[in-house]
Amino acid sequence: MTQTQQPELLYLSKRDIVELGGDHSNLYVAAIERALTLHAEKNFVQPLKPYLRSQGADGHIADRIIAMPAHIGNPGISGLKWVGSKHDNPKKRGMERASALVILNDPETNYPVAVMEGSLISGMRTAAVTVVASKHLAKPGFTHVTSIGCGVIAKMQLFSMIEQFPQIKTIHLYDVFPEAAVKLSKAIRQKAPEVEVECCDTVEAAVKQGEVVITCTVADKPYIPYAWIQKGAFISNVSIMDVHKEVYLQADKVVVDDWEQSNREKKVINQLVLEGRFSREQLHAELGEIVVGRKPGRERDDEIILLNPMGMAIEDIACAEQIYREAVKKQIGTKLSLY
């Protein structure tokens, strides 16, 4: 931005982002691999994200607004994801559980250059983390994928996995609301008719069949014991609170995206640390360390590997930056004057 330019920013709606390819996994997988590489290289700034809980301790664990600021690269770009969630939005209001905005700032001036709808970016980048992790942590050639929870996040996770791993043969679904599993099964069959879909009667049956198990719930306490997990499984514990403490202690490898982000907010890892039963030294790796080859991923077919991805602002900003660059190049979006 020069001294003679009038400050303006680019607004991108969800429709704009879809037009830019933001409903397909390729864009996000590339951006996430870059973000995790920058994380491993320490080429980022990422303050611990604050949680705004207006109902305090009386509120549901999924009822919060989170501010996620970050800077990536050099000179790179700065930004913030502002993401709100209410667990009862779908059932009570007919709305998606989460909403979000992403703001990007030019690091030369710190003026905002873009504001964009963030829920699609947030969900798709979370799915891309599972994809990237599966490349390194799942058994080669896995064919059975399980999703616990069958809402919007599960759909993004499974569609991304289908797009990136054509060997997937069967998807096992479970949701406390069976109609959600049926709805998602129909969407999967429409997208990938060659993939078999099974709606399971119990969460145990679904978990036991998964070579890759993805949790996509709003659970506030663990329900998946170690005994349900098959040898060689990779668990992408996206919704964080689903897996019993014993899994962290008995799994062959525990991986996080960022240790400082994961060891807080009384999540399961944080509880174990406070109890003196888990530590940074017991952690196998942060995911970026595996992506850059500093630490090994899967080394044996029978390893049980648990990923605990709290979600990092640098992931959102890396994805949003890529979308912004494409929008400028293709002249998509609405320019807004700040004055």
- Please, which residues have CB within 8 angstroms of residue 299's CB and are 6 or more apart in sequence? none
From residue 291, give the alpha-carbon distance in Å to each of 121, 129, 182.
21, 11, 35
- The dihedrals phi and psi of 238, each to the nearest 5 degrees, come to -60, -40
Inside any domain, residue 1: no
Closest listed residue to residue 218, CA positions, set 49, 61, 58: 61
Q: Residue 59 carries which side chain, given as an amino acid letter?
A: G
The answer to whether position 3 is within a domain reads no
Reduced to 3 DSSP states, what percent helix, strand and coil does the chain have, rounded to the nearest 5?
35, 25, 40
**In a shared domain, residues 105 and 163:** no
Low-confidence ranges of the chain (pLDDT < 50): 1-3
Identify the domain containing residue 212 by its residue range: 130-312
Domain co-membership, 219 together with 71: no
Say yes or no: 184 and 99 in one domain: no
Same domain, 103 and 136: no
Share of the chain above pLDDT 70, in %: 99
Q: Are residues 62 and 181 in the same domain?
A: no
| Residues 164, 139 share a domain | yes
In this structure, are 202 and 217 located in the same domain? yes
Q: DSSP assignment of 220-274, as one string?
A: SS--B-GGGSPTT-EEE-TTSSSB-HHHHHHSSEEEES-HHHHS-TT-HHHHHHH
Q: Which tokens is 233 given?
A: 């499984």
Look at residues 156, 17, 31 and name the one whose alpha carbon lies nearest to residue 98.
156
Question: Would you call 221 a catalytic residue per the annotation?
Answer: no
Domain match, 224 and 274 both:
yes
Same structural domain for residues 176 and 323?
Answer: no
Q: Domain check: are 219 and 272 in the same one?
A: yes
Gap between the Cα atoms of 116 and 29, Å rounded: 19
pTM for the structure as a whole: 0.94
Residue 261: inside a domain: yes
Q: What is the pLDDT of residue 56?
A: 85
- Domain match, 176 and 280 both: yes
Q: Round to whole Å and give the CA distance between 3 and 181.
A: 55
Structural domain contains residue 280: yes
Domain containing 76 — which CATH number? 3.30.1780.10
| In a shared domain, residues 55 and 153 | no
Catalytic-labelled residue, pool 49, 81, 155, 253: 81
Q: How many CB atoms lie within 10 A of CB 120?
A: 22
* pLDDT of amino acid 1: 47
What CATH number does the domain containing 152 carry? 3.40.50.720
Q: How many domains does the chain have?
A: 2
2 domain residue, yes or no = no
